[in-house]
């Protein structure tokens, strides 16, 4: 889980203010898998290879290097959208200089990375459950490009695997720009690879807040969202938990003693023997001065 800290952009209270409306279509508004698959990516790559070198080629600006990247087959990398469905694929356009992805091809067009992080509703400032294919694509952008390639902190353990197609998840929005996301394993869902064993409680499996939105209270808002969804119930965060998230959890639990017995750090299914009470763990870490109170 990644909740390390970096400053500067609108606070949550500021997110209640509108910055104006936008009319053009955005990646998150691509509603159906059928619309995306109307274009064969294999045929598109073949057409790039066969394109006349004298023809004006499409180009997209790299937001990191500030240079124009011409769309070619060699710069276009095929990626699976979902962990369990290799047939659902997109293309990532990669920059020669920084080696990062600068755009995503889906639904028959290229979506520049920074534009894909916005929606058409500049009033949207909320936690929204992922439901449409476009929202799944945005989850892919956040997990496989922003988290993995652009903002990964070397000290934060992460696998960056594609997220399963049926994974419960929420996107976090501020003034029409996506802040981050978290994914959830619901209680009772069968554990992948286990024989009949299921999750003993709802467990946050992956959590990511973009750097420009850190230190603005979103970590605590995620915990509050979980406490609202699961009142007087246990819920967990999958191991390993980042040091910064431990600090957020400590501050939250200091303010909410009624939650001391309900939040856990988990492995496997989170059943007995595979969970540890976070409040007791944090008290131990504070005593050992491994975390600041």
Distance of CA 46 to the CA centre of its chain: 31
Of the chain, the end-to-end C-alpha distance in Å amounts to 20
Nearest to residue 268, comparing CAs of 210, 185, 146?
A: 185
The pLDDT value recorded for residue 34 is 84
Element (H, E) at 32: none
The pLDDT value recorded for residue 8 is 39
Question: Is the pLDDT higher at 240 or at 31?
Answer: 240
Report pLDDT digits (tens) over 124-161: 999 999 999 999 999 999 999 999 999 987 666 666 78
The pLDDT value recorded for residue 192 is 83
pLDDT at 17 over 50: no
**Preceding peptide of 240 cis, ω within 30°:** yes
Q: Which two tokens stand for residue 234?
A: 């246990």
Report pLDDT digits (tens) over 252-262: 999 999 999 99
Backbone angles phi, psi at 258, to 5 degrees: -65, -15
On whether the CB atoms of residues 174 and 10 are closer than 8 A, the answer is: yes
| CA quadruple 234, 128, 117, 37: dihedral sign | positive
DSSP string, 260-281: TTTEEEESTT--TTSEEEHHHH
Backbone angles phi, psi at 34, to 5 degrees: -65, -40
pTM recorded for the entire structure: 0.88
The pLDDT value recorded for residue 88 is 87
Angle between helices 278-287 and 243-255 (to 10 degrees): 110
- What is the percent of the chain where pLDDT is above 70? 88
The pLDDT value recorded for residue 108 is 92
Widest pairwise Cα distance in the chain? 69
What is the pLDDT of the chain when averaged over all its residues? 88
The pLDDT value recorded for residue 195 is 77
Per-residue confidence at 105, pLDDT binned at 50, 70, 90?
Answer: very high
Per-residue confidence at 2, pLDDT binned at 50, 70, 90?
Answer: very low
The pLDDT value recorded for residue 4 is 37
Q: Which two tokens stand for residue 63?
A: 């937001």
Cα(272)–Cα(254) distance, rounded to whole angstroms?
A: 25
The pLDDT value recorded for residue 33 is 82
Number of Cβ within 10 Å of residue 251's Cβ equals 15
| Sequence-ordered list of residues with C-beta below 8 angstroms from that of 46, at least 6 positions apart, any chain | none
pLDDT at 21 over 60: no
On whether the CB atoms of residues 213 and 233 are closer than 8 A, the answer is: no
The pLDDT value recorded for residue 180 is 98
Starting from the edge strand earliest in sequence, which strands make up the sheet with 85-94, in order?
76-82, 85-94, 101-106, 109-112
With b for 16 or more beta-carbon neighbours within 10 A and e for fewer, the 255-279 pattern comes to eeeebeebbbbbebbbeeeebebbb
On whether the CB atoms of residues 101 and 25 are closer than 8 A, the answer is: no
Give the CA distances from residue 242 to residues 3, 245, 281, in Å, rounded to whole numbers and listed in that order.
Answer: 7, 5, 14
The pLDDT value recorded for residue 156 is 64
Distance of CA 122 to the CA centre of its chain: 20
Measured at the CA of 7, the angle between CA 6 and CA 12, to 5 degrees, comes to 115
The pLDDT value recorded for residue 12 is 47
């Amino acid at each position: 889980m990644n909740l390390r800290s970096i400053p500067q952009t609108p606070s949550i209270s500021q997110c209640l203010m509108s910055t104006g409306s936008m009319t053009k279509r955005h990646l998150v508004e691509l509603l159906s898998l059928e619309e995306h698959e109307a274009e064969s990516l294999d045929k598109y790559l073949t057409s790039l290879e066969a394109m006349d070198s004298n023809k004006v080629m499409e180009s997209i600006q790299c937001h990191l290097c500030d240079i124009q990247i011409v769309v070619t087959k060699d710069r276009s990398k095929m990626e699976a959208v979902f962990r369990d469905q290799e047939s659902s694929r997109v293309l990532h356009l990669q920059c020669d200089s920084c080696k990062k992805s600068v755009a995503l091809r889906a639904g028959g067009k290229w979506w520049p990375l920074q534009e894909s992080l916005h929606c058409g509703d500049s009033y949207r400032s909320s936690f929204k459950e992922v439901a449409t294919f476009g929202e799944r694509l945005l989850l892919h952008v956040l997990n496989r490009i922003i988290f993995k390639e652009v903002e990964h902190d070397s000290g934060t353990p992460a696998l960056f695997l594609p997220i399963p197609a049926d994974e419960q998840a929420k996107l976090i929005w501020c003034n029409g720009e996506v802040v981050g996301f978290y994914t959830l394993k619901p209680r009772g869902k069968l554990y992948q690879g286990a024989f009949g064993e299921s999750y003993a409680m709802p467990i946050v499996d992956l959590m990511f807040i973009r750097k420009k939105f850190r230190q603005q209270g979103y970590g605590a808002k995620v915990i509050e969202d979980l406490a609202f969804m699961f009142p007087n119930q246990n819920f967990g965060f999958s191991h390993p938990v980042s040091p910064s998230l431990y600090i957020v959890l400590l501050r939250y639990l200091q303010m909410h003693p009624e939650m001391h017995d309900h939040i856990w750090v988990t492995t496997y299914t989170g059943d007995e023997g595979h969970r540890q009470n976070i409040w007791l763990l944090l008290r131990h870490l504070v005593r050992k001065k491994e975390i600041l109170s």
